[in-house]
Amino acid sequence: GAGVSQSPSNKVTEKGKDVELRCDPISGHTALYWYRQSLGQGLEFLIYFQGNSAPDKSGLPSDRFSAERTGGSVSTLTIQRTQQEDSAVYLCASIPGLSSTDTQYFGPGTRLTVL
């Protein structure tokens, strides 16, 4: 079946603009994660959605970052007033069950460049 998909694959924006990144998890997967991979850094956790529970936003680096998940499926990560340090690859992952110990399935990522 189809894997996790993300769009756009690449996004170039000017400093100060808002951007939206989209993630379509594998159908039926209950949990969804957003991670960020900056140049030379490891993947950094941003936010976690599990079913209908309130999301864990503890990894979001600032209040310019927000995310939502509609209908328990598609998720959108929004970055307002982008800064150059926001340039990174943003990766989405989903897991099939209610246990966070399940294998995470990753999408191809969105490469964001802020000029």
Partner 1 sequence: KQEVTQIPAALSVPEGENLVLNCSFTDSAIYNLQWFRQDPGKGLTSLLLIQSSQREQTSGRLNASLDKSSGRSTLYIAASQPGDSATYLCAVLTNSGYALNFGKGTSLLVTP
Task: Write out the residues near partner 1 by the rule CB under 8 A.
Answer: 3-4, 9, 31, 33, 35, 40-45, 48, 50, 56, 59, 91, 93, 100-101, 103-109
In the complex with partner 1, which residue's Cβ is closer, 14 or 41?
A: 41
**Among 38, 34, 35, 30, which residue's Cα sits nearest to residue 72?**
30
Say how many CA atoms lie within 13 Å of 111 toward its Cβ. 3
d(CA 22, CA 90): 10
Closest separation between CB of residue 109 and partner 1, Å? Answer: 6
Q: Nearer to partner 1 by C-beta: 14 or 103? A: 103
